[in-house]
Structure 1
Amino acid sequence: MLRILLIGPLPPPIHGTTVMFQQITRELEKRHGVKICVIDTSRKKSEFGCLENAVVAVRTTVKLLWFVTRVQVLTFHASATAALGFSPVVHSISRLFKKPWVLRILGGNVDMVYKRSSRWARAIYRKTALAADLCLFETRLLMKYFENICSSEPKFFWNSREMPTLKSLNEHRTVCRKFVYIGNVKYSKGLKEIIAAGEQLSRNYIVDVFGPFQEGMSERDFDGLNIVKYRGLLHPDDVVEKLKAYDALLLPTYYEGEGYPGVILEAYAACIPVIASNWRSIPEIVDESSGILIEPKNTQMLLAAMKRLTSDQKFYRLLKRGVLEKRKLFSVEQRVSAFIEYCNKLISRRVKL
């Protein structure tokens, strides 16, 4: 029996890191021969700020000390900032109890956080977080950046999603007229550009937006619009089903923290193509076979891409066939199997030592 401790943030709140951590815990719970213990590091009441951070850190440390003798491997799933804050504790306890540990960075901006950190903060990163027995990065861009900084060889562990069977999908739709954005509703995700481009379409088309407001945006930004409509919140478990009702996903983001956006993988799960920004690591998962890449903050390129999908049915069908191939690469079952293999190898290596 493989016994794994998973430390990371569970919903609520709902955002990329909590959803990714919840996915791996759910999938591991289904696996025979695997027993998991989970420590939730999520902050539930953000208004308490530093005080709650301290409470979460103390609670997590106590639970870690309780579980460490009951498991074979420790795994810490964290954003770039959380990794800096708590990795010293995980690293110290793993070495004290002679347990291997894995750091999985959630999100795509750890390189930028590392660059902006002080000399002392980077030293802490190298001596603790990046000294884990195994570091898992979400994108090739990050893996390449840290390959000569990590103490051990970093591994590429990309984002993933459950992929419904093809029989449950409406992959036969051949006309594009309904666009959707799902995610945090904020300027850095390209909402200004979506509104500007969408309002230039005729009334035959639909552009719907779902998600929580951030960066000062509100429902007032959608007042009086003819095409682009705000439709409220979605639970993460409902995203793929909602995407099936649309023809293409819009993600003209320039958000600094983008890794492999989960909503793109959910679009693949729903078998619809993507219009996304040529930004950070997005070109690693969106190419000419499954979508259209545009330059960030470029409303006219976004509008042109939307019009191409609506007017060129042959091209749209070609993209949908490409999505069917892309979706095979991002199965959560495949990724969790790889995670289990990584853990088993670390344990075997430690036993030999």
Structure 2
Amino acid sequence: MRILVVGPSPTRSKGGMATVIEEIEKDKTLNSKFNIDIYESYIDGNKLKVLFFSLFSFIRFYFTKRNYDIYHIHAASYGSTFRKGLYVHAAKKWGKKVILHIHGAEYMLFYEKSNQKDKIVSILKEADEVIALSAEWKKKFDETFGLKNCVVLENGIDTERLKPAITSVKDHPYTFVSLGRLGERKGTYDLIKAIERVKGQIPDIKCYLAGDGDIDRCKQIVEEKNLKSNIFIVGWADFDKKLELLKKSSVLVLPSYNEGLPMAILEGMACGKAIISTTVGAIPEVVKEENGILIEPGDTEKLSEALITYCMNQETVEKIGKNNIALIHTKYSMDAMHQKLAQYYIDVMQEKRV
């Protein structure tokens, strides 16, 4: 069975989609069962570069990539959905099977704001199967779009690769890390406010902010608030840098306003970190009381309390970390994800619905 995985370049773009595609590309078991190729439809860059690359990629795809059984197409919200709609339509025109894998924390917001709702629904329904990142997303997709072709595939984590970041809390007390794009949606400014508030009680509190986005603005705020000894703006972190930051932190913080199932939370849990996050997207499906603390988005008072709670209860953080390692191995490992994905490939070819 020949499968073409279409989406952002694993080497020339950042973010969760690229990570998921890279994991598929490198998984020996999955590749031993299927003949899988990766097709880059997108790379990071300025608008002109993205436009020309995306246009050239689709033209090349249309004329040279017709000999696959399944097209596993990854899409996010906004322009990504409409670009990938061209791929979906082309593959279906050729009489091929299509799996449309939906990412993007703001997908429902994108739909609600769009003046092309019918087109979005048409793209989703044209696929043989739509993959949602969580049971909550599947429910929303089914109810909002009227889908009967939607299945759940939680993001998976390469636990072996992350093992070096499993460390004892006593080696880095009062130390937090936030991974993801810096900015309002990820709650970065709320986190800065909360640390400013906590600093009076816990002067040694430290937090690493890693990601692209509003780097300069965050640096300016940290300097203005005299928090340079507490908050460290790292900028974009590749895998090795991310591993280094996780290794010297005890808690992962992600106070987001919109999410699907964030890779950062799963990675943090795989490394034995307690979690502080928000009740959005699929996060409550993963982070229960024994895994971390969830607050409402924008509640900086509760966020401050959560930071203090974990600073003052190191044994609890250690225990939660062990719970999280066990949960990831059981349900959210890359092996579990790829076993499920392999079955979806087989089901689509046999026209089964799960």
Q: Structure 1-normalised TM-score?
A: 0.87
- Aligned length in residues: 342
Change (3 A) 1:267 1:123: same
Contact kept? 2:4, 2:37, Cα under 8 Å: yes
Change (3 A) 1:233 1:122: closer
Q: Kindly provide the CA deviation profile for residues 296-352 of structure 1, in whole angstroms up to 9, marking residues without a partner as x.
A: 1122211111111121234323312321232122111221221122112222339xx
Tell me how far 1:166 sits from its aligned partner: 9.2
Q: What SS class does the counterpart of residue 195 from structure 1 fall into?
A: helix
Greater Cα offset, 125-134 or 52-61: 52-61
Contact kept? 1:275, 1:291, Cα under 8 Å: yes
Alignment of 1:12-91 (within 5 A): 12-27=12-27, 31-48=31-48, 52-53=50-51, 55-69=53-67, 71-91=68-88
Q: What amino acid sits opposite 1:173 in the alignment?
A: V
Unaligned runs of 5+ in 2: none
Q: Where does residue 152 of structure 2 map in the other structure?
A: 156
Alignment of 1:229-268 (within 5 A): 229-254=232-257, 256=258, 258-268=259-269
Is residue 185 of structure 1 aligned with residue 187 of structure 2? no
Q: Where does residue 133 of structure 2 map in the other structure?
A: 138
State the distance in 2 between where 1:91 and 1:47 align. Answer: 23
Change (3 A) 1:26 1:74: same
State the distance in 1 between where 2:60 and 2:120 align. Answer: 22
Change (3 A) 1:4 1:167: closer
Change (3 A) 1:17 1:237: farther
Q: What amino acid sits opposite 1:3 in the alignment?
A: R
Q: What amino acid sits opposite 1:284 in the alignment?
A: E
Tell me how far 1:74 sits from its aligned partner: 1.0
Tell me how far 1:20 sits from its aligned partner: 2.7
Q: Kindly provide the CA deviation profile for residues 206-226 of structure 1, in whole angstroms up to 9, marking residues without a partner as x.
A: 222222232862422222314
Q: What amino acid sits opposite 2:158 in the alignment?
A: E
Q: Where does residue 2 of structure 2 map in the other structure?
A: 3
Tell me how far 1:155 sits from its aligned partner: 0.4
Change (3 A) 1:169 1:266: same
Contact kept? 1:278, 1:296, Cα under 8 Å: yes
Greater Cα offset, 54-63 or 163-172: 163-172
Tell me how far 1:168 sits from its aligned partner: 4.6
State the distance in 1 between where 2:318 and 2:149 align. Answer: 41
Unaligned runs of 5+ in 1: none
Greater Cα offset, 169-178 or 34-43: 169-178
State the distance in 2 between where 1:265 and 1:115 align. Answer: 28
Q: What SS class does the counterpart of residue 8 from structure 1 fall into?
A: strand
State the distance in 2 between where 1:90 and 1:187 align. Answer: 32
Tell me how far 1:40 sits from its aligned partner: 0.7
Q: Where does residue 275 of structure 2 map in the other structure?
A: 274
Q: Where does residue 296 of structure 1 map in the other structure?
A: 297
State the distance in 2 between where 1:146 and 1:19 align. Answer: 23
State the distance in 1 between where 2:164 and 2:4 align. Answer: 35
Q: Aligned-residue CA RMSD in angstroms?
A: 2.6
Contact kept? 2:182, 2:213, Cα under 8 Å: yes
Q: What amino acid sits opposite 2:37 in the alignment?
A: C
State the distance in 1 between where 2:240 and 2:166 align. Answer: 18
Q: Where does residue 203 of structure 2 map in the other structure?
A: 203
Q: What amino acid sits opposite 1:67 in the alignment?
A: K
**Percent same amino acid among aligned pairs?**
20
Contact kept? 1:5, 1:37, Cα under 8 Å: yes
Q: Structure 2-normalised TM-score?
A: 0.87
Change (3 A) 1:167 1:249: closer
